[in-house]
Amino acid sequence: MQTIQNFINGEFVPPIAGQYIDNFNPATGTRSGKIPDSDIDDIEMAVRAATSAFPAWANMSLDLRHDILRAVADGILQNLDELAAAESADSGKTVTTARTVDIPRAAQNFKFFATALLHFASESHHAPGSLSYTLRQPLGVVGCISPWNLPLYLFTWKIAPALAAGNCVVGKPSEVTPLTAYLLGDICNTAGLPPGVLNIVHGLGPKTGEAIVRHPKIKAISFTGSTRAGSEIARIAAPVFKKLSLELGGKNPNLIFADCDYEKMLETTVRSSFNNQGQICLCGSRIYVEKSIYPRFKKDFLERVKNIKIGDPGDPANHLGAVVSKMHFEKVLGCIDLAKAEGGQILTGGAALKMPAPFDKGWYIAPTVIEGLSAECRTNQEEIFGPVVTIQAFDNDQEALELANSTPYGLSATVWTNNLQRSHYLAANLQAGIVWVNTWMLRDLRTPFGGVKNSGVGREGGWEALRFFTEAKNVTFG
Residues annotated as catalytic (active site), given as ranges? 247, 281
174 binds ligand NAD (CB under 6 A): yes
Question: Which one, of 42, 34, 51, lies nearest residue 17 by Cα?
Answer: 42
Among 232, 290, 312, 464, binds ligand NAD (CB under 6 A): 232
Q: How far is the CB of 278 from ligand NAD (least distance, A)?
A: 11
Question: HEC profile for 428-449?
Answer: HHCCCCEEEECCCCCCCCCCCE
108 binds ligand NAD (CB under 6 A): no
Interacting stretch for ligand NAD, rule CB under 6 A, among 191-199, 244-252, 303-311, 338-346? 244-252
311 binds ligand NAD (CB under 6 A): no
15 binds ligand NAD (CB under 6 A): no
Instruction: Name which of residues 265 to 284 contact ligand NAD (CB under 6 A).
Output: 281
Site string for ligand NAD, 39-78 (x = CB under 6 A): ----------------------------------------
Q: How far is the CB of 146 from ligand NAD (least distance, A)?
A: 6
Among 233, 244, 260, 430, binds ligand NAD (CB under 6 A): 233
Whether 190 and 78 have beta carbons less than 8 Å apart is answered as: no
Among 213, 310, 355, 401, binds ligand NAD (CB under 6 A): 213
Give the contacts of 84 (CB within 8 A, at least 6 positions apart): 95, 98, 99, 102, 103
Site string for ligand NAD, 428-467 (x = CB under 6 A): -----------------------x---xx-----------
Separation of alpha carbons 192 and 347, rounded Å: 54
Of 71 and 229, which has the nearer Cβ to ligand NAD? 229
290 binds ligand NAD (CB under 6 A): no
151 binds ligand NAD (CB under 6 A): no
Separation of alpha carbons 320 and 362, rounded Å: 13
Q: Where are the alpha helices (DSSP H) in 1-61?
A: 40-59
Q: Where are the alpha helices (DSSP H) in 275-348?
A: 294-306, 326-341
Whether 89 and 358 have beta carbons less than 8 Å apart is answered as: no
312 binds ligand NAD (CB under 6 A): no
Of 167 and 279, which has the nearer Cβ to ligand NAD? 279
Angle subtended by helix axes 151-164 and 80-91, to nearest 10: 120
Cα dihedral sign, 154-159-160-162: positive
Alpha carbon 214 to its chain centroid, in Å, reads 22
Interacting stretch for ligand NAD, rule CB under 6 A, among 6-14, 37-45, 228-236, 367-375? 228-236
Of 167 and 174, which has the nearer Cβ to ligand NAD? 174
Tell me the one-letter amino acid at 282: L
Whether 244 and 213 have beta carbons less than 8 Å apart is answered as: no
Site string for ligand NAD, 403-432 (x = CB under 6 A): --------x---------------------
Measured in degrees and rounded to the nearest 5, phi and psi for residue 191 equal -75, -10
Question: Which one, of 335, 332, 250, 243, lies nearest residue 285 by Cα?
Answer: 250
Of 248 and 289, which has the nearer Cβ to ligand NAD? 248
Collapsing DSSP states into helix, strand and coil, what is residue 36?
strand
Q: How far is the CB of 155 from ligand NAD (least distance, A)?
A: 9
387 binds ligand NAD (CB under 6 A): no
145 binds ligand NAD (CB under 6 A): yes
Separation of alpha carbons 120 and 110, rounded Å: 15
Of 312 and 383, which has the nearer Cβ to ligand NAD? 383
For the chain, the C-alpha Rg in angstroms (whole number) is 23
The b-or-e profile of 268-283 (16+ CB within 10 A means b, else e) is: bbbbbbbbbbbbbbbb
Q: What residue ranges bind ligand NAD (CB under 6 A)?
A: 145-149, 154, 172, 174-175, 204-206, 209-210, 213, 224-226, 229, 232-233, 247-250, 281, 383, 385, 411, 451, 455-456
